[in-house]
């Protein structure tokens, strides 16, 4: 049988009341050290385990936070969750984890579960599919502390932790320019997500800084997948003026681009430069190794939890916490082989081939 020692059992054995036992266990200031010691010893002796359920019901605090991610299988989110859980645990919080599989339906289901579980706060990375944010709105109405990480939305005024997507994209694009690439394309992601929109903005800004005209035909409306990258290459090679570099919105898209270019026997780097975003763990091991923008995933998780703790403290009217609306992490540039110096243009390469054929 599973044990069921309660504070009443401890109280009875010590000739105290359950109230005193409860206070002793919670280190209430007005309980004498002697009884505290007595109670705690008896508690361990009886292998008492505090019933958090009952405690939560009475106190209204669960010390549990809900975490919503698209999928734990994606390295990026596993890493963020790692950061979140570490910090949560050391703050005495437990985390309830739900995955959306990028669908709004599961996102709604997760929020309902959290509401029902009376979590003290929620950390979420919005699903790709989500366009209607009313379920998040509902959380705000109910005054439930909420922090977005990575995937955010600006319509809702939700505090968030993100990497500086704009800056990362800007630097990535600038790096391609400085490496000598002249016609730089972009494989973009779903534009309803601010994350991806910011990266597009950064891309454009870098071009503009160097007085390069932003051409709409060089922006392929893609997705974060290998397939999207491949499709982008197929598309780019239908253009009359083929690009010689790609800044992909994410590493998997970048990988697709590399695969597509390899199929076409394009030399990377040299003929073609590629840079991605996310610094997924395969990047440094493929060939050419993929240049990318590191998003400080673990730190992102820690910061997100920290911000949520502040919101929770604020809600409980504990003062002294200046509320930050947004934490922006520095993108860490990881320059590898795929984006290093341009040596020869595709046109030149083609001409060479033509010459070779003629000779």
Partner DNA sequence: GTGAAAGCGCTAACAC
Partner DNA sequence: GTGTTAGCGCTTTCAC
| Chain contacts with a copy of itself (rule: CB under 8 A) | 1-3, 47, 49-54, 56-57, 62, 64, 71-75, 77-79, 81-82, 85-86, 89, 94-99, 101, 106, 109, 112-113, 115-118, 138, 142-144, 255, 281-282, 285-287, 298
Inter-residue contact 229 to 258 (CB < 8 Å): yes
CB of 306 to a copy of itself, least distance (A): 18
Which residue matches tokens 């199929």? 263
Could you please report the per-residue DSSP string of 189-201?
--TTSHHHHHHHH
For DNA (CB under 7 A), the number of binding residues is: 29
User: From the list 23, 151, 186, 342, which residue makes contact with DNA (rule: CB under 7 A)?
Assistant: 23
Is the dihedral angle over the CA atoms 108, 109, 114, 117 positive or is it negative?
positive
Q: Minimum distance from CB of 55 to DNA (Å)?
A: 3
Read off the tokens for 164.
């500086």
Query: From DNA, a copy of itself, none, which one binds at residue 98 (CB under 5 to 8 Å depending on kind)?
Result: a copy of itself
Spatial contact of 278 and 250, defined as CB atoms under 8 Å apart: yes
How far apart (Å, rounded) are the C-alpha atoms in residues 216 and 237? 15
> Residue for token digits 């106190």?
59
Q: Which is nearer to a copy of itself, 94 or 179 (CB)?
A: 94
Give the side-chain half-sphere CA count within 13 A for 81. 20
Please say whether the beta carbons of 279 and 335 come within 8 A.
no
By a kind-dependent CB cut-off of 5 to 8 A, residue 333 interacts, out of DNA, a copy of itself, none, with none
Joined tokens for residue 263: 């199929």
Q: Minimal CA–CA distance to 168: which of 9, 71, 276?
A: 276
- Binding-residue pattern over the window 27 to 66 for DNA, x denoting contact by CB under 7 A: -x-xxx-xx------------x-xx--xx-xxx-------
Q: Between 33 and 155, whose beta carbon lies closer to DNA?
A: 33
Separation CA 202–CA 204 (nearest Å) = 5
* Site for DNA contains 94 (CB under 7 A): no
Instruction: Please give the Cα distance from 157 to 300 (Å, whole number).
Output: 19
| Nearer residue to DNA within complex by CB, 5 or 298 | 5
Least distance in Å: CB of 51 to DNA?
A: 3
Decide if residue 17 touches DNA (CB under 7 A). yes
Give min distance, CB of 98 to a copy of itself, in A.
7
Which CB sits closer to a copy of itself, 40 or 118? 118
Query: Considering the complex, what minimum distance in angstroms separates the CB of residue 316 from DNA?
Result: 11
* CA 203 – CA 191 distance, rounded (Å): 14
Sites of contact with DNA (CB under 7 A): 4, 6-8, 15-20, 22-26, 28, 30-32, 34-35, 48, 50-51, 54-55, 57-59
């Amino acid at each position: 049988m599973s044990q069921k020692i309660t504070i009443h059992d401890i109280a009875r054995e010590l000739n105290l009341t359950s109230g005193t036992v409860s206070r002793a266990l919670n280190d209430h200031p007005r309980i004498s050290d002697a009884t505290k010691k007595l109670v705690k010893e008896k508690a361990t002796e009886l292998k008492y385990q505090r019933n958090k359920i009952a405690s939560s019901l009475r106190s209204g605090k669960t010390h549990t936070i809900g975490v919503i991610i698209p999928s734990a299988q994606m390295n990026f989110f596993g890493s963020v969750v790692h950061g979140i859980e570490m910090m949560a645990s050391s703050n005495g919080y437990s985390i309830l984890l739900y995955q959306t599989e990028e669908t709004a339906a599961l996102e709604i289901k997760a929020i309902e579960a959290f509401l029902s579980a009376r979590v003290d706060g929620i950390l979420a990375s919005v699903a790709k599919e989500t366009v209607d944010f009313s379920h998040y709105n509902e959380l705000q109405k109910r005054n439930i502390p909420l922090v977005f990480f990575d995937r955010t939305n600006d319509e809702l005024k939700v505090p968030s932790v993100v990497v500086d997507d704009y800056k990362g994209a800007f630097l990535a694009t600038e790096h391609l320019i400085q490496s000598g690439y002249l016609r730089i394309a972009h494989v973009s992601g779903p534009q309803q997500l601010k994350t991806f929109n910011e990266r597009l903005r950064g891309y454009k800004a870098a071009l503009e800084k160097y007085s390069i005209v932003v051409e709409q035909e060089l922006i392929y409306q893609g997705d974060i997948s290998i397939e999207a990258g491949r499709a982008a290459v197929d598309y780019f090679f239908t253009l009359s003026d083929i690009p010689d570099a790609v800044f992909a919105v994410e590493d998997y898209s970048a990988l697709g681009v590399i695969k597509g270019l390899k199929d076409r026997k394009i030399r990377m780097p040299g003929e073609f430069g590629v840079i991605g975003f996310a610094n997924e763990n395969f990047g440094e091991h493929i060939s050419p190794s993929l240049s990318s923008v590191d998003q400080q995933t673990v730190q992102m998780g820690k910061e997100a939890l920290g911000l949520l703790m502040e919101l929770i403290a604020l809600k409980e009217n504990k003062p002294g916490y200046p509320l930050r609306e947004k934490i922006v992490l520095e993108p860490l540039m990881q320059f590898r082989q795929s984006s290093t110096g341009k040596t020869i243009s595709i046109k030149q390469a083609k001409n060479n081939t033509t010459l070779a054929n003629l000779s």
